[in-house]
Amino acid sequence: MISETRVQAVFNGKKPDRVPVFSFVGAYAATLAGIPLYEYYTNPGLAIELQLKARDLFGYDDGTHYGWADWGGWEFGGEIAFPKTRKEASPRTSANVINHVSQVDSLPVPDPVSAGMLPLIDKYNRQKIAMGEKAVIQGGSISLLAAGILGKTRLLRWYLREPSAVKVIYDKAADFVIAAARATIDRYGAVNCSVGFTAPMDTNDLISADIFHKFCFPVQARVNREIMQMGVDKFSIHLCGNHKHNLKLWAALPWPKRMLISLGPETDLVLAAETFGHRHVIAGNVSTSFLAYGSYEEVYNNTVQCIETGKDLPGGFIVMSGCEMPVLAPPLNVFAMVQAAKDVGGYV
């Protein structure tokens, strides 16, 4: 099978020739090419070109993606810092928007077309549409935007000290995401759009399930529901970090009938599949620590373990890096994932 057929078989509820491999390669492709990360992140066309060449090199099965996790701050009027070295890896909010609770109510919702990274995302989407693929809508998580607006430490403090202000910020962030989604759908059509988001600020390593339920859950439910009502039914979510105690809440959110749920190594594959009712494709969760700093054998063995755990999940399974491929990963460690799937991931 070719990659497209292999992946489509999984989403159609059928067994492919073998378990597909999603590398989650993003800026790592720039490392392979010796391209500065600033150039990669500010040129979506180049990002696509390099990712496709990396896929040809390694033979994994996923397509391209673009963007970064630390967003919301730049979009709401803060400052962004693009990486200058490989160790910095991705863009980060360098100056947050809100420093005092008195600023919250007057915070305007940004323009849903021109704010922050959105023009770059649209350049990426135009090329994806030209390739016959779907445009991408940034769906959150809303906690990420709140962290970008406030700063991560201030957000965690304000959950307890200024809960009313946090709820206002969540609502404004949700309004922005919904408006940006509507603008993308108006431009490309709902049938040509997909929604993706990641949730590192919602991990139980940072917040309790009670905090998630009080602040994050109702707003993310509104975002998901409204985007689905606009006609988009292709979703993917990456639960970054430990979401063990949030899984039932994640599963209770409005979702399409079938989607991709990818997991970090801190969240159990089987537990997630069971909690979501075996309705969705589960992907994960090869250790990024092994990928960045381990040996070929460690990555290979960890990938085999993931395949043996997830291969026969009723909803389907894709072996995948537990988060975006580290920019410092040795090339042979990426190849180890593909080789493990070829060796032990076969169905026929």
CATH assignment of the domain containing 239: 3.20.20.210
Residue 12 lies inside a defined structural domain of this protein? no
**In this structure, what DSSP letter does residue 236 have?**
E
Identity (one letter) of the amino acid at 185?
I
pLDDT (mean) for 120-129: 98
Residue 8 lies inside a defined structural domain of this protein? no
- pLDDT number for residue 88: 85
> Which of 136, 147, 139, 194 is closest to 170 using CA atoms?
147
In contact, 248 and 275? CB cutoff 8 Å: yes
Residue 13 lies inside a defined structural domain of this protein? no
Task: Quickly list DSSP for 66-107.
Answer: ---S--STTTTT-EEE--SSTTT-S-EEEE-S-SSGGGSTTP
In contact, 108 and 154? CB cutoff 8 Å: no
Residue 184 lies inside a defined structural domain of this protein? yes
- Three-state DSSP class for 200? helix
**In this structure, what DSSP letter does residue 214 have?**
I
Strand partners, 196: 138, 236
Nearest 5 degrees, angle CA 234-CA 69-CA 101?
115
Q: Exposed (0-12), middle (13-18) or buried (19+): which is 193, by Cβ within 10 Å? A: buried
- pLDDT tens profile 173-194: 999 999 999 999 999 999 999 9
> Which of 94, 95, 100, 145 is closest to 118 using CA atoms?
145
Q: What does the buried/exposed string (b/e) look like for 58-79 if buried means 16 or more CB atoms within 10 Å of the residue's CB?
A: bebbbbbbbbbbbbbbbbbbbe
In contact, 48 and 66? CB cutoff 8 Å: yes
Query: Residue 86 above 90 pLDDT?
Result: no
- Provide the pLDDT confidence category of residue 348 given band limits of 50, 70 and 90: confident
Of all residues in the chain, the percent with pLDDT exceeding 70 is 100
Quickly tell me which residue has 């917040």 as its tokens. 207
Instruction: Show the tokens assigned to 173.
Output: 């962030």
| N-term to C-term CA, the chain | 12
Residue 4 lies inside a defined structural domain of this protein? no
Average per-residue pLDDT for the chain? 96
Residue 259 lies inside a defined structural domain of this protein? yes
Domain, as residue range, for 289: 19-344
At 285, give phi and psi (nearest 5°). Answer: -135, 65
- pLDDT tens profile 141-153: 999 999 999 999 9
> In the chain, which residue ranges form alpha helices assigned H by DSSP?
3-11, 28-33, 37-41, 44-58, 118-130, 142-150, 152-161, 163-188, 209-211, 217-229, 247-252, 269-275, 288-293, 296-310, 331-344
- pLDDT tens profile 235-259: 999 999 999 999 999 999 999 999 9
Query: Beta strands 79-81 and 92-95: pairing type?
Result: antiparallel
- pLDDT number for residue 87: 81
Number of domains in the chain: 1
- pLDDT number for residue 252: 98
Q: How far apart are CA 51 and CA 54, in angstroms?
A: 5
Residue 186 lies inside a defined structural domain of this protein? yes
Residue 129 lies inside a defined structural domain of this protein? yes
Task: Quickly list DSSP for 103-166.
Answer: GSTTPPPPPTTTSTTHHHHHHHHHHHHHTT--EEEE---HHHHHHHHH-HHHHHHHHHH-HHHH
